[in-house]
Amino acid sequence: MPVALWKKLLAEFIGTGWLVFGGCGSAVLAAVFLKTEGSTPINLGIALVGVSLAFGLTVLTMAFAIGHVSGCHLNPAVTVGLAVAGRVGWKDVAPYIVAQVVGATAAAGVLAVIVWGKEGSGSLGDFAANGFGDHSPGKFSLTAAFLTEAVLTAMFLLVILGSTDRKAPAGFAPIAIGLCLTLIHLVSIPVTNTSVNPARSTSQAIFAFESGWAMNQLWLFWAAPIVGAVLGGLIHKMVFASDAGETK
């Protein structure tokens, strides 16, 4: 029995919210956590590896939880890439993207309230927003940022499409996809703070309003992931899909 569209959209809302709350929340709240013993500060934070794992675990857990409902896209670029590959209908693309952006923004709002609740905290700062140039963690250029986001999103789509292909081993796709997103973050946090997801970038940019730079640079974190997703979807459809090149 087909799943109702409203159920799919609710699943995407919740799932994308979980990705932002778990992934961006780990970056904002736990990447650096200083505890003072005497006069010596001790860093108990999870650092870049921990943040990378957090993003991967959000996708892995949601893929098992809602994959059978909505496909667990959690990402406008993924939705576009799946449509290019013929896995979802184009009529569902816009509703999915709206649900993802709204879910991500709602989660970012909850996270902002938590941050504001810390004693002495009156600012959200950069709020794990994505950036390039002066706002790249490693000061990487616009060109480097665009190339990184496009290539990694294309590879992400190839892993998603390949691991969910009808001839792929059943039941292991969430693990492959979650580990892929972990690897993507391990590579690219220093470059752009890692997007590969326009909804994630939008939600954080909205709340990093004090400096204003995040919204000005947001265009790249829509354009590059979608370009990469289209490339990944096309490559899979033409080369790697189960029926690619088969004689009809």
Angle of helix 198-207 relative to helix 5-19, nearest 10 degrees, comes to: 60
pLDDT at residue 112 tops 50: yes
Domain 5-240 has CATH 1.20.1080.10: yes
> Does residue 245 carry a pLDDT above 70?
no
DSSP state of 4: P
Question: Which are the contacts of 198, defined by CB distance < 8 A and separation ≥ 6?
Answer: 75, 76, 77, 101, 221, 222, 225, 226
pLDDT per residue as tens digits for the range 142-173: 999 999 999 999 999 999 999 999 999 999 99
Domain coordinates of the chain in residue numbers?
5-240
